[in-house]
A and B are shown apart, each in its own frame.
Chain A
Amino acid sequence: MMEALGTSIKTETHGDVTVVGLAGEHDVTSAGAVREQLGTVAASGGGLVVSLMETTFFDSSIVHALFDADRQLQEADRRLVLHVATAPIVRRVLEVSMLADAVPCIGSLSEAVEVAGRRGGTA
């Protein structure tokens, strides 16, 4: 979808769950495109996994887009799920932004997709 300086936003579907992969560095330069993509998926009524497996950096503008997507999903009785096992700096951002406390962070993609496909919470 978007490719600049090793930065990309890729999407793939697993049933009614869309996995959005953020590869490379994501900051204010890509925040608008990320927000738009997450908003489109969240509005579709399906589940959403954001994969940070290939993310090498992301900043607070992306964090806010992720929080907003989670809020939007909660209105449809779903939750955002993060697919993570990532670079230390990415884990640090998850920690300091409190995103790691707010949404499920799962290392297995199949498990992340399964959790994102549920309605009525993540338990």
Chain B
Amino acid sequence: MNHGLTVELSLQAPREVRHSLEARYAGSIERSLLDDVTLLASEMVTNAVQHSGRPDGDLLTFESSVVDGVLRVEITDEGRGVPRLEPRAIAPPSGLGYLEILSDRWSSHLNHSFHVWFEIDVASRMTVYRRVVAA
């Protein structure tokens, strides 16, 4: 269940990525999981658009996969400004703070390009979901 997309940096990029995720995964993965992935991906792309320091039209790469029960999303841009993202511990949480709440793990690194990724353990979440539904 791999998926890849290259979009131009612009204010429309988050919407493009959301719609692409919907087209690729609707009906394939559980709705609440897709909603979380869509929200997180949208926030990450928005962060790249607003803070990468790159001009509109620069390219951003979006990749997602589901392998061995782990759904992984990685976004790459050509920004050089921040070595590593650190969400501020504030309330209400920022968009990046949502990563802390909704993903099982996430990180970012600068390696020629800037990469930020998150993972959600699909299998364990589905087990919890089924238990709640059955209860």
Interface residues of A (CB under 8 A from B): 5, 25, 27-29, 57, 59-61, 63-64, 67, 88-89, 92-93, 96-99, 102
Q: What is the bound-complex CA distance between A121 and B33, given in angstroms?
A: 36
Give the residues in chain B near A25, CB-CB below 8 Å.
15, 18
Would you call the interface of chain B mostly helix, strand, loop, or mixed?
helix
Q: What is the bound-complex CA distance between A64 and B88, given in angstroms?
A: 15
Which of B12, B35, B49, B91 is the one whose CB lies under 8 Å from A98? Answer: B91
Give the residues in chain A near B2, CB-CB below 8 Å.
none
Stretch at the interface among B39-47, B71-79, B106-114, B115-123: B39-47
Given the known A-B contacts A59-B46, A96-B93, are A27 and B35 also in contact in the complex, defined by CB atoms under 8 Å?
Answer: no
CB of B9 to closest CB in A, whole Å:
12
- Whether A60 contacts B98 by the Cβ 8 Å rule is yes
Interface residues on chain B, number (Cβ under 8 Å): 24
Q: What is the bound-complex CA distance between A57 and B18, given in angstroms?
A: 10
Would you call the interface of chain A mostly helix, strand, loop, or mixed?
helix
Interface residues of B (CB under 8 A from A): 11-12, 14-15, 18, 31-32, 35-36, 38-39, 42-43, 46, 49-50, 91-95, 98, 101-102
- Whether A27 contacts B42 by the Cβ 8 Å rule is yes
Closest residue to A91 on the B side, CB-wise? B35
Q: What is the bound-complex CA distance between A92 and B49, given in angstroms?
A: 23
- Whether A67 contacts B92 by the Cβ 8 Å rule is yes
Which of B38, B46, B101 is the one whose CB lies under 8 Å from A28? Answer: B46
Q: What is the bound-complex CA distance between A28 and B36, given in angstroms?
A: 18
Q: What is the bound-complex CA distance between A35 and B133, given in angstroms?
A: 38
Q: What is the bound-complex CA distance between A60 and B42, given in angstroms?
A: 10
CB of A82 to closest CB in B, whole Å:
14
